[in-house]
Amino acid sequence: MTTHFPPSQITGAGLGLRSEHYQDILIHHPPVQWFEVLSDNYLAAAGQPLHYLERIRNNYPITLHGVGMSLGSADPLNLEYLTRLKRLANWMEPAYISDHLAWISINGCYLSDLAPLPYTEAVMEQVAQRIIQVQDFLEQRILLENPSTYVAFKSSTMPEWAFIQGVVDKADCDLLLDVNNIYVSATNHGFDPLNYLNAIPTERVKEIHLAGYEEEENYLFDTHGYQVHPPVWDLYQKALERFGAVPTLIEWDTDIPSFEVLMAEADKADALIKKIANNRSKA
Partner 1 sequence: MLTGDLMELAALQQLFYDAIFDKSGTRSEALCQHITTAPNLTAADGIAIYRGSILGKLSSTLQAIYPFCHRLVGDTFFRMTASTYVHLSPSTSPDLGDYGEDFPEFLAMFEPAASLPYLPDMARFEWHWHRIFNGEDTSLLDFQALANIPHEKWGELIFKLPKASVLLESVYPIHRIWQVNQPDYEGDDSVNLDESGVKILLWRQNDEMRLDLPTDSEWQLLKAFQSQQPFGLICEALANNEATLDVSALLTQFVQRGWIADFSF
Residues binding partner 1 (CB under 8 A): 40-41, 43-49, 51, 67-68, 70, 73-75, 78, 81, 103-113, 115-116, 118, 122-123, 125-126, 129, 150-156, 188-190, 218-219, 221
Residue type, 9: Q
Residue 174 and residue 143 in contact, taking contact as beta carbons nearer than 8 Å: yes
Whether 88 contacts 82, CB under 8 Å: no
Residue 179: strand, helix, or coil: helix
Q: Which lies closer to partner 1 via its Cβ, residue 19 or residue 278?
A: 19
CB of 120 to partner 1, least distance (A): 8
Instruction: Pick between residue 167 and residue 273 the one whose CB is nearest to partner 1.
Output: 167
CB of 279 to partner 1, least distance (A): 36
Q: How many CB atoms lie within 10 A of CB 39?
A: 25
Which of these, 143, 239, 127, 146, lies nearest to 184 by C-alpha position?
146
CB closer to partner 1 out of 33 and 150: 150
Task: Return the number of the residue (68 or 212) whose C-beta is nearest partner 1.
Answer: 68
Nearest approach in angstroms of CB 103 to partner 1 is: 6
Supply the minimum distance, in Å, between the C-beta of residue 254 and partner 1. 9
Alpha-carbon distance of 174 to 44, in angstroms, equals 27
Q: In the bound complex, what is the minimum distance in angstroms from residue 181's beta carbon to partner 1?
A: 14
Separation of alpha carbons 111 and 105, rounded Å? 6
Which residue, 64 or 245, is less far from partner 1 as judged by CB?
Answer: 64
DSSP 74: S
54 vs 93 by CB, closer to partner 1? 54
* Smallest separation, CB 82 to partner 1 (Å): 10
Shortest separation between residue 225's beta carbon and partner 1, angstroms: 12
Strands 97-100 and 103-106: unpaired
β-strands 143-145, 174-178 pairing: parallel
* 47-142-263-40 Cα dihedral, nearest 10 degrees: 30
Distances (CA, A) of 76 to 8, 25, 82, 113, 134: 31, 39, 12, 18, 11
Which C-beta is closer to partner 1: that of 109 or that of 283? 109
